[in-house]
């Protein structure tokens, strides 16, 4: 297989040279022992974009060795925080320079609108890299007084070492940035495994790693099937930490592999079935927009998708009317069309999964008041779909659908609303809309989620931590909290005067 391929973006005429090999030690290389490839599909047309090398377990091992060597020679304690900061800022500049090209490639492989990829996913990723560049020279420990006048203790926050990072297909560039930026800022080296559905932008970003000046082996990229490369990385005895975003099912496997191998540190950002509560004092116009955004952003392929909305009974009809109006106003279409607010879903697998949930909703007796009909023609399109008349046992109320499918229910009292909202094994996000400040405070405390949005939904900031409770995950990304995931605290006890009275 050629080490790169020219991809033409039909809609814009842009030609993009895309690497197709595994990125190890700053070079694109073939697999050491496999001829397997990954076919990359454009979800808007169902046509093949190109194929890339599918890494094997042996390739993961080679990438881990490269990362270990870099950690021991050029990175880790061999590089100052100031230099890490300079390199991260340079990488951010290069991504900003190439934003349009990267956005078109992201649109082609993932389906999301180019303008969303460019202005939100990539804009946010550049900011994320700069945010952690700012931390790289400020990773400091503590000096701690101990109960002895001739002794002191202090801590160092050492880089944890070689990090495996397994990312999903819903935000291929943004999840790359969320993982890479704090790890590099802390001085870790990386073996990145992008999703087999969307490996192209991770490969393109690997070129920028070289251009920015990172030493060989600091960042390695191995596209591979999850059951092959992801599993090998999680079970590898020389990986110190694994960071994962994806399904709860896979998160559980990763934790098991980590426990069975070397007890590597694990952080998991998993699924959700996030609720939004709409109280009678809420601004219904605004709340309906946030509720629509919550379920329709990224065509519902979002870990924090607000896929359950519960409305206080006194305002139920008025709110529902507004919600339907907002959902109808969003156009789902080709990502290269400037009018599209959302694209097709990422893959045939995801498309079939979403439709099976929509069918189950109908069969289990929910009322489909919007969408729920397949489009004719090519492309994995799912239009905004809203179900009412739901009950807590329905699949559409319990399961993470990861598509633009919303279940809307009713509640009478605040207590009942909270109970419904918390009736899930997940705990990633939750929203509440109310103009009663005391109620906002009470309910935000009662909601069992890692993130609670009040009178808004789904907006995240690089300096605010993000992660889940219950079966939505372990650990936190973003903010200063993410630094804990990539550092190991060492306590150093220093004696500058005490003589040991011996024997004891
Ligand atoms: N929390 C989130 O942001 C995401 C949640 N999901 C949920 O998961 C469902 C299934 O989507 P998938 O793509 O199958 O998710 P997944 O969790 O299987 O895939 C995410 C990543 O994990 C890797 N992976 C798969 N099996 C692995 C294993 N045994 N060991 C290590 N890594 C492995 C994949 O290759 C990919 O890179 C979606 O419908 C959605 O409900 C999917 C993607 C992102
Ligand atoms: N929107 C936060 C990241 C995720 O969906 O995986």
The full 3-state SS of 266-324, as one line of letters, equals EEEECCCCCEEEECCCCCHHHHHHHHHHHHHHHHHCCCCCCCEEEEEHHHHHHHHHHHH
Contact between residue 406 and residue 392 where contact means Cβ atoms under 8 Å apart: no
What does the alpha-carbon distance between residue 185 and residue 356 come to, in Å, rounded to a whole number? 43
Active-site residue among 269, 414, 477, 485?
269
Q: Helix or strand or coil: residue 114?
A: helix
Hey, whose CA ends up nearest to atom 1 of ligand 2?
302
Does the model's pTM come out above 0.95?
A: yes
10-residue mean pLDDT profile of the chain (504 residues): values are 91 97 98 98 98 98 98 98 98 98 98 98 98 98 97 98 98 98 98 98 98 98 98 98 98 98 98 98 98 98 98 98 98 96 98 98 98 97 98 98 98 98 98 98 98 98 98 98 98 97 95
Q: What separation in Å is there between the alpha carbon of 211 and the centre of ligand 2?
A: 28
Ligand nearest to the CA of 268: 1
ipTM: 0.97
Residues 6+ away with beta carbon under 8 Å from 214? 26, 87, 91, 184
Q: Which ligand is nearest to the CA of 55?
A: 1
Which tokens belong to 388?
Answer: 């009412």
Ligand 2 cavity residues, CB under 6 Å: 170-171, 245, 302-304
Give residue 2's pLDDT: 75
- Whether ligand 1 lies within 6 angstroms of the CB of 170 is answered as yes
Q: Which of 112, 174, 294 to mutate to test the pocket of ligand 2 (most atoms within 8 A of CB)?
A: 174
Q: Going edge to edge, which strands form the sheet with 308-312?
A: 367-370, 385-388, 405-411, 308-312, 275-278, 429-433, 451-454
Ligand 2 centroid–CA 305 distance in Å is 8
Q: For residue 8, list its beta bridge partners.
A: 15
What's the pLDDT score for residue 206?
98
3-state secondary structure of 369: strand
Ligand 2 pocket mutation, candidates 195, 303, 457, criterion most atoms within 8 A of CB: 303
Burial per residue of 454-489, b for 16 or more beta-carbon CB atoms within 10 angstroms, e otherwise: beebbebebeebbbbbbbbbbbbbbbebbbbbbbbe
Q: Which ligand is nearest to the CA of 269?
A: 1
Give residue 369's Cα distance to chain centre.
Answer: 31
Q: How far apart are CA 149 and CA 323, in angstroms?
A: 67
Is the beta carbon of 57 within 6 A of some atom in ligand 1?
Answer: no
Which of 250, 270, 466 maximizes ligand 1 atoms within 8 Å of its Cβ, making it the mutation to test the pocket? Answer: 250
Residue 6 catalytic? Answer: no
Q: Would you say 112 and 198 are in contact if contact means Cβ atoms under 8 Å apart?
A: no
């Amino acid at each position: 297989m050629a080490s790169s391929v020219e991809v033409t973006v039909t809609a814009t005429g842009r030609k993009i040279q895309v690497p197709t090999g595994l990125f190890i030690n700053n070079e694109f290389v073939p697999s050491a022992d496999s001829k397997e490839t990954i076919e990359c599909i454009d979800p808007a047309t169902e046509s093949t974009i190109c194929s890339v090398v599918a890494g094997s377990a042996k390739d993961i091992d080679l990438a881990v060795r490269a990362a270990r060597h870099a950690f021991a020679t050029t990175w880790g304690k061999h590089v100052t925080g100031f230099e890490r900061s300079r390199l991260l800022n340079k990488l951010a500049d290069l991504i900003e320079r190439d934003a349009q090209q990267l956005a078109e490639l992201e649109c082609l492989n993932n389906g999301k609108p180019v303008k969303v990829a460019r202005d939100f996913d990539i804009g946010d990723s550049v900011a994320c890299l700069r945010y952690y560049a700012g931390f790289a020279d400020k990773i400091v420990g503590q000096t701690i007084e101990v109960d002895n006048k001739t002794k002191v203790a202090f801590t160092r926050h050492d880089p944890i070492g070689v990090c495996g990072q397994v990312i999903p297909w819903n935000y291929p560039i943004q999840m790359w940035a969320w993982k890479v930026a704090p790890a590099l800022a802390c001085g870790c080296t990386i073996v990145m495994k992008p999703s087999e559905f969307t490996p192209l932008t991770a490969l393109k970003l690997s070129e920028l790693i070289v251009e920015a000046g990172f030493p060989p082996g600091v960042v390695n990229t191995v596209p591979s099937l999850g059951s092959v490369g992801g599993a090998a990385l999680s079970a590898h005895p020389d990986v110190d930490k694994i960071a994962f975003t994806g399904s709860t099912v896979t998160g559980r496997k990763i934790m098991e592999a980590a426990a069975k191998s070397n007890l590597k540190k694990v952080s998991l950002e998993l699924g959700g079935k996030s609720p939004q509560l709409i109280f009678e004092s809420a601004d219904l116009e605004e709340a309906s927009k946030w509720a629509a955004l919550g379920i329709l952003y990224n065509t519902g392929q979002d870990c924090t998708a607000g896929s359950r909305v519960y409305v206080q009974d006194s305002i139920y009809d008025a709110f529902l009317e507004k919600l339907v109006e907002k959902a109808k106003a969003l156009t789902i279409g080709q990502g290269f069309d400037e009018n599209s607010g959302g694209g097709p879903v990422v893959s045939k697998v995801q498309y079939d999964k979403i439709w099976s949930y929509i069918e189950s909703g109908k069969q289990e007796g929910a009322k489909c008041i919007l969408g729920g009909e397949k489009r004719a023609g090519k492309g994995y399109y799912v239009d905004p779909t809203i179900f009412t008349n739901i009950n807590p046992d329905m699949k559409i109320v319990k399961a993470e659908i990861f598509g633009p499918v919303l279940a809307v229910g009713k509640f009478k009292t605040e207590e009942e609303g909270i109970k419904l909202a918390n009736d899930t094994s997940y705990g990633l996000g939750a929203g509440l809309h109310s103009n009663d400040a005391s109620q906002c405070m009470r309910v935000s405390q009662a909601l069992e989620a890692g993130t609670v949005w009040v009178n808004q939904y789904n907006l995240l900031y690089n300096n605010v931590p993000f992660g889940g409770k219950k079966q939505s995950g372990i650990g936190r990304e973003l903010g200063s909290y993410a630094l804990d995931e990539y550092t190991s605290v060492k306590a150093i006890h220093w004696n500058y005067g005490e003589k040991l009275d011996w024997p004891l």
